[in-house]
Amino acid sequence: MNLYQFTLPVYTNNRDSYEKAHAFFREYVLKTVGGYTDHGQVDGYWKNAEGREFRDRNRIYTVATTPAIQDNLIAKAFDLFPDQEAI
């Protein structure tokens, strides 16, 4: 088993809430691996290709699982948070 962190956005790129997606993700993780640690909301900072700076609100989860199940959780996260380029 390894520990994996998932950094997931609080808002869509259109500034709509992702709270329902978070609820589905948490439920899926509980069913799949039995538990997680929710570190709450944090700020993330990044620059786009043109050098413009952005600040995002994110939520971080830590999950103890195998690499194969971690891949499955990443796929589920991309399904639930479709406008993200990286998770």
For 2-80, CATH gives 3.30.70.120
Confidence (pLDDT) at 86: 83
The mean pLDDT of 23-41, rounded to a whole number, is 97
Contact by Cβ (8 Å): 60, 3: no
What are the tens digits of pLDDT across the range 37-70?
Answer: 999 999 999 898 999 998 999 999 999 999 999 9
Distances (CA, A) of 20 to 10, 46, 51, 64: 10, 25, 32, 23
The structure's pTM equals: 0.90
What CA–CA distance (Å, rounded) separates 73 from 51? 31
Which tokens sit at 80? Answer: 């639930």
Say whether pLDDT at 87 is over 90: no
- Domains of the chain, by residue range, sit at 2-80
How many CB atoms are located within 10 Å of the residue 24 CB? Answer: 14
At a CB cut-off of 8 Å and minimum separation 6, what does 62 contact?
Answer: 3, 4, 5, 6, 36, 37, 39
Average predicted confidence (pLDDT) for the chain: 95
